[in-house]
Amino acid sequence: MQDTTSRRTAERLSPEGAADGDPPRAATSESLFSGANGIYAAALTGGVVLHAINIFLTATVMPSVVTDIGGLDVYAWATTLFVVASILAAAMTAKLLRGLGPRGAYLVAALFFGSGTLISALAPSMPVMLVGRSIQGIGGGFLYALAYAVTRIVLPQPLWGRAIGLISATFGVATLIGPAIGGVFAEYGAWRAAFWSLLPFVALFSLLAATKLPGKSATSGETAPIAWLQLILLAAAVLVVSASSLSTDRLLNIAGLAVAILLTALIGRAERGAGARLLPKGSFSLSSPLGVVYLTIALLMMAMQPDIFVPYLLQTLHGQSPVLAGYFAALMALGWTAGTASSVRLRRGDGGRLILAGLLLVLVGIVLFGVFMPVKSDGALLIVTPVGVALFLMGFGIGMAWPCLVTRVYQYAPEAEQDVASGGMTTVQLFAGALGAATGGMIANLAGFADPGGAVGATSAAFWLAAGSAVAPALAIILVLRIAHLAAGKANRAEAPAT
């Protein structure tokens, strides 16, 4: 078994198309989209598109849902439970992939996603809708995490960066498609049809996975223990921080965030020496390059916290219509897509310069946001244009750094824990996003977003949201420089002659 795994690893790590003794050929976009690679790329991105469109489609039709079946008092839980389920599923992706291989894992993901979608479409009441959304979240978490995990199995290493860039780009495009489709259904009050519309694509995706993805990988059939304690602590942290962020009580906001941080620290403690792990060894240590990379990913996700307030701030402070405000908010997603495409084209070496450049662009974008968004206007171009530029720069910077960070996770993770590293990457991303949203809500409430509210509260909230968000990329820049230092030290030790 070990020889087979080593041989497959060597094949996977060898440059694409290079036979023994031949010079390696550079990976190109054409090689990613040609032959079997093209089919694999379609499967990987197809799952992400389903997950992403569902997120934004559902967000658009939920007001129509509560109008029809009630449940306004638990409105936010339709998203909260979906996110919690997605995080838990992402954390269990390694076990699913080891047990069933790429084909079986994707079919299970599609089954959960399709079942949850069907329940949501038929829901007669909000409690049933919450059940459907939770099951959808499990499927969505699997689909998203599997895209990263299966990339390293079915594609050669030179194509990993391009495949990851494609996955990120399709997620960005879905942020435009989802609200547009949802808006059409919402306008006619046909929210059930929005969920029904996803099912044919789930069926087509399942057919593609069943017929084109490999049934086994080097680790198929192996057992992977489940980190039950860490999963419980993780779910508790997300639920606590999400629930507390819904309150207008400032003390409850702060207490919820504090409890979430404490639970996160307990996860790190439980991971030490644990037989069943959520993340690979070294992920909770700043003396490990892998730990630094994971923390950088988390900080990037937390830097996006102003985005959820953009529509409200633009309508309240700059007189923009809901439609225009929504598309302004989508500029960050468009920037992410454009930044990812640029990263794939411009990357040289390990991509360290692109990561640093991306973080600097994120910081510049947040500063522009903090300068222009709080200035009340009647929609003057001199004010709203820099706001749009700020949002685009924030997304562009994240997109530029993202493929390089993801490939570094593969690079630094131990070979035996590659599948755990892939699932862990999605777990970190989703958890940090939930924590960032809750932190943003807390900052906004403390700044007067709800009290005194109105233009005065919005102005204060816009400034302090930017100030709080700027901390994340600033810390990430320090971490990236630390990665370079740690990597250089490791290389020097490896080259040092034995004594």
- Report the share of the chain in percent with pLDDT over 70: 87
Mean pLDDT of 252-264: 88
Residue 17 banded pLDDT, cuts 50, 70, 90: very low
Give the residue-averaged pLDDT of 171-184: 75
* pLDDT at site 120: 95
- Is the pLDDT assigned to residue 466 strictly greater than 70? yes
pLDDT band at residue 19 under the 50/70/90 scheme: very low
| Greater model confidence, 24 or 418 | 418
Predicted confidence (pLDDT) at residue 247 exceeds the cutoff of 80? no
Mean pLDDT of 294-302: 91
Q: What is the mean pLDDT of the chain?
A: 82
**pLDDT the model gives residue 494:** 54
Which domains does the chain show, CATH number per domain?
A: 36-218 (1.20.1250.20), 282-487 (1.20.1250.20)
pLDDT tens readout for residues 396-445: 999 999 888 888 888 888 887 877 887 788 888 888 888 887 788 788 88
Higher-pLDDT residue of 83, 3: 83
Q: Is the pLDDT of residue 36 over 60?
A: yes
pLDDT at residue 205 in the model? 94
The answer on pLDDT for 21 being more than 80 is no
Instruction: Tell me the range of 168-182, 336-350, 484-498 where mean pLDDT is highest.
Output: 336-350
Cα–Cα distance measured from residue 400 to residue 384, given in angstroms and rounded to the nearest whole number = 24
The pLDDT, as a whole number, for residue 227 is 82
Answer whether 145's CB lies under 8 Å from 422's CB: yes
pLDDT in tens, 308-321: 788 788 888 998 87
What local confidence, expressed as pLDDT, does residue 297 receive? 92
